[in-house]
Amino acid sequence: MPVYKVGCECGSAALVRPAQAGNSAVCPACGRTIQVPTLRHLVRMPAEPSAEPASAPRTHAAALAMVFAAISLVSFVGSLIVGSPPAPVPVEPYRAAFDSMNDGQIHSAWVDMMSRNRVYRPPSPQELTVQRRFKIATVAAGGLRALAAVAAVVAIAVGAWRLSCGRGQSRQLSTKL
């Protein structure tokens, strides 16, 4: 793909591609905005095929889209990490308690459980800890997924707006990102 030199007031030149025709470029020496000629005028200029063009300047819209895309990605990955299932409850303490009971105690516990049709006992401290952590992880994962969805929608909307208004009509950032 050919590359063209577009002169600046400072005497330096910016390298541009035909895709940048009609837009503006940033002078690599002084940082001023240079108006790139239209494609019709640009192709009449001598080409610099061996030169590597400077990257196109980023616009506010592109920067905003990249920021929200990054927020979306980080939030989604965070929700996957936080929302992963909790560690299984260890069975050994319950098995040890069951093994220490005699047959009469096991039978009366079974009758008591069956008469109420559920196990009626307060949860152990370990079970309470697991329940609290699970609730916190569920809420955090939901919040992160919601943040990821909002950030993705904003990134898509900004990208669509940028495409609809044209690349050259967006304001350019004065500094490189």
Burial zone of 147 (CB within 10 Å; 0-12 exposed, 13-18 middle, 19+ buried):
middle
pLDDT of residue 169: 45
More confident residue, 30 or 78: 30
pTM given for the model: 0.38
Q: What is the pLDDT of residues 105-156, one digit of tens each?
A: 887 877 776 666 555 567 788 888 888 888 888 888 888 888 888 888 888 8
Distance CA 32, CA 46 (A): 23
- What average pLDDT does this structure show over 9-19? 86
- What average pLDDT does this structure show over 53-76? 75
